[in-house]
Structure 1
Amino acid sequence: MNAILYAVTVFIWGSTWLAIAYQIGDTPVVVSVGWRFGLASLALFFILIARNALPKLTRENHKMAALLALCLFSNNFLCFYAATQYLPSGLNAVVFSLAPILNALNLWWLDKRRPTGTFVQGALMGFTGVVFLFGSQFLNADMDITIFLGLGLSLVGTYFFSMGNLVSARAQKKNMPLLPTTAWAMGYGAIYLFAIALFMGHSFAISTTPLYVSALVYLAIIGSVVGFNTYLALVGRIGAAKAAYCTVLFPLVALSLSTVFEGYEWTWMSALGVMLVIAGNLRVFGVPEPVKRWYLAHR
């Protein structure tokens, strides 16, 4: 069962980046992201009500939900969607895989938890890998400066996500109900995004092409609701540290899909960059026990 949950989570998280790319077009980014989390929030509320598992939240719960909305369900995805206008979706996923490293840096900055030497080594390898990846893209794009705009947006989005992880961790330490809080957070995120769209004079209408609508439904239901629940189930079964290996593997899914559907072109620099990012994450997390057992059995 753990293997199934792990595989489903990795595939869903890895494939959402391509679905995001399919939403870029006529519909403003802020409207697309608003509809994504509006639909996801409604779906989660429906599930919770059907299970009779929708408790009344305190004012503190709603404050935390609002913070989660700003970090996890609005501003971060505004950056990711905007970055996808300038980058292949797979590269966006690789930058996002640096989130655990940013988590540790935030804990160092905010909670004074000094990182270990192992972490510093892994972080340097990961960031060096990103430099190689984007150096390859820069050289292949005839010195197109928009690549750096895409990288900057992706890094900002990842940092928002990292801050959201800290907010979520503190909320769980206070024994806040996770799924109801998430449902409200997604709803608040949608309201915030639609308010921005209204201020900017955008219509709430979306593209009705089959590709856009299918991508929206996939991101809202599969990516945001199913993927979130499978990951939480995995955390409950094997722990957060082991479940974090998902962030090491899903960029490979994203880059594979980007290669097939977006024509992403590999070079020796991009291949080396991916290997360094994966090696850096493995250095931070350690090598999984099943891999260690396999190595010891076959050496």
Structure 2
Amino acid sequence: MNAFLYVLVVLIWGTTWIALKWQLGPVPIALSIAYRFGLAALLLFAWLLWRRQLVVPRGRARLWVLAQGLCLFCLNFVCFLNASRSVASGLVAVVFSSAALWNALLARLVHGRAVAPQVLGGGALGLMGLVLLFWPEIASQHAGTSTLAGLAWALGGTLCFSTGNLLSAALQAEGLKPVQTNAWGMAVGTAILLGYALLAGQPLAFDPGPRYVGALLYLAIPGSVIGFTAYLTLVGRLGPERAAYSTVLFPVVALNVSAWAEGYRWTAPALVGLVLVMAGNVLVFRRRRAALPPASPTAPSPRPRGLA
């Protein structure tokens, strides 16, 4: 079951980046995200009511749901959409794959889990890989500043995503299912984004064009209802660190889609950078072999089988 969830998340989230890019246009970013998660929340609430599984979070779980909605269904996508303004969607997905490292580091800060040497080594490899992937854009006189800004937005969105992972793990430890917390979290994110749009005086614009509507439906149903439920189920089963391992394969899918849809061109440094990013993520989750305990000097040596 875990393998199926991994494949499902990789295929869905590896292709949502181009849909995010297609939402950029006359509709303000905050409203595009609000439309996505508002629709997804309505579908999840309808499902929960039909299954008679709707639960209202109480106590500290209510605060965690509010924080999850802010981090996972609001701020991170504001960051990702702003990043997509200046860099290819596939490159944003590569930055997002560093969530594996951020999850491990945040688990250290929040839960006090020791950071293994391979996590630090994987982080160093990933950083070198990101530099190589972005080097053609950084070196360009025309896009250097905007590319650096896009990279900063993408890193900020990834950090928000990782924070939401830890909050989801805490909520599942309280006995709440991802589909339940996602419904409330998406509703919270939608309310925050709509409130911001109204305060900022943004008109309630909507693009009826087929590309925008198609991207919205894909992001709301497969990308949000299915993708987030599958991914956060992995978070509950495996922990936020190991669940984020699925992000290792996102760049492979996303960059190939970007090459087809956006004209992204592979270069030798980019290929090397992609390999380093993926190797770094794999290294982060490589399990260390447990050392064998020293033999007791007083313990008798075991006799070979078959001998008296």
Query: Aligned partners of 1:266, 1:202: CA distance in 2, in Å?
Result: 38
**Match of 2:83?**
83
Instruction: After superposing the two structures, state which structure 1 stretch, 17-26 or 110-119, moved more.
Output: 110-119
Q: Report the equivalent of 1:7.
A: 7
Tell me the CA shift for residue 46 of structure 1: 0.9
| Contact preservation (8 Å) 2:10, 2:246 | yes
Using the alignment, how far apart are the partners of 1:139 and 1:278 within structure 2? 23
Equivalent position of 2:98 in the other structure: 98
Question: What residue identity is the alignment partner of 1:11?
Answer: L
What residue is the counterpart of 1:193 in the other structure? 193
Are 1:277 and 2:284 an aligned pair? Answer: no
C-alpha distance 105-140 of structure 1, shift in aligned 2 (>3 A): same
Partner of 2:108 in structure 1? 108
- Mapped contact 1:61–1:181 kept (Cα < 8 A): no
Instruction: Return the letter of the residue paired with 1:36.
Output: R
- After TM superposition, the score normalised by the length of structure 1 is 0.89
Partner of 1:257: 257
Structure-1 separation of matches of 2:130 and 2:207: 33
Distance (Å, rounded) in 2 between the aligned partners of 1:176 and 1:230: 15
1:166-214: CA deviation from partner (whole Å, max 9, x where unpaired): 2222222222343222111100100000000001111222111000011
Instruction: Answer yes or no: is the 8 Å Cα contact 1:62–1:181 preserved in 2.
Output: no
Which letter maps to 2:84?
T
Q: Give the letter aligned to residue 247 of structure 2.
A: T
* Pair 39,56 (structure 1): closer, same or farther in 2 beyond 3 Å: same
Residues 119 and 284, structure 2, Cα contact 8 Å, conserved in 1: yes
| Aligned mates of 2:219, 2:73 — CA distance in 1 | 12
Matched, 1:211 2:211: yes
Separation in structure 1 between the aligned mates of residue 165 and residue 229 of structure 2, nearest angstrom: 16
1:232 and 1:148, CA in 2 relative to 1: closer, same or farther beyond 3 A? closer
- Contact 1:37–1:187 (Cα < 8 Å) also in 2: yes
The SS at the match of 1:193 is helix
Distance 1:62 1:145 in 2: 40
Query: Over residues 106-159 of structure 1, what are the superposed CA-to-partner deviations in whole Å (9 max), with x where a residue is unaligned?
Result: 233334333111111111111111111111222256453100000000001111
Aligned 8 A contact 2:178 2:232 in 1: no
CA contact (8 A) 1:95 1:130 kept: yes
1:91–1:255 contact (8 Å) kept in structure 2: yes
Q: How does 1:238-249 map to 2 (within 5 A)?
A: 243-249=243-249
Higher helix content, 1 or 2: 1
User: Could you say what secondary structure the match of 2:225 adopts?
Assistant: helix
Question: 1:32 — aligned with what?
Answer: 32
For the pair 1:175 / 2:169, whether they are aligned, the reply is no
Are 1:149 and 2:129 counterparts? no
* C-alpha contact 1:41 1:186 (8 A) present in aligned 2: yes
Give secondary structure in 1 for the equivalent of 2:52. coil
CA contact (8 A) 1:68 1:185 kept: yes
Q: What amino acid is the match of 1:275? A: V
After alignment, is 187-196 or 140-149 more displaced? 140-149
Q: Which has the larger Rg?
A: 2
Pairs within 5 Å for 1:52-67: 52-67=52-67
Q: How far apart, in 2, do the equivalents of 1:83 and 1:269 lie?
A: 21
Task: Return 112-121 or 31-40, whichever deviates more.
Answer: 112-121
Any conservation in 2 of the 1:80–1:157 contact (CA below 8 Å)? Answer: yes
Cα deviation per residue 1:230-286 (whole Å; 9 max; x = unaligned)? 335556777766644321111110001000000001111111111000000111112
Alignment partner, residue 74 of structure 1: 74
Alpha carbons 2:182, 2:229 under 8 Å: kept = no
Closer/same/farther in 2, CA of residues 220 and 52 from structure 1, 3 Å limit: same
Deviates more, 1:163-172 or 1:151-160: 163-172
Q: 1:294 matched to which residue of 2? A: none
After the TM superposition, which of the residue ranges 58-67 and 253-262 deviates more from structure 2?
A: 58-67
TM-score w.r.t. the length of structure 2 is 0.87
8 A Cα contact 2:103 2:241, kept in partner:
no
Distance 2:170 2:233 in 1: 19
SS in structure 2 of the partner of residue 150 of structure 1: helix
Q: For structure 2, which runs of at least 5 residues remain unmatched after alignment?
A: 288-308
What CA distance in whole angstroms lies between the structure 2 residues aligned with 1:249 and 1:108?
Answer: 24
Structure 1: give runs of 5+ residues left out of the alignment.
Answer: 288-299
What is the aligned residue count? Answer: 287
What's the Cα RMSD here? 2.0
Distance 1:39 1:151, change over 3 A: same
Amino acid in the other structure paired with 1:53 = Q
Cα distance in 2, alignment partners of residues 22 and 267 from structure 1? 24
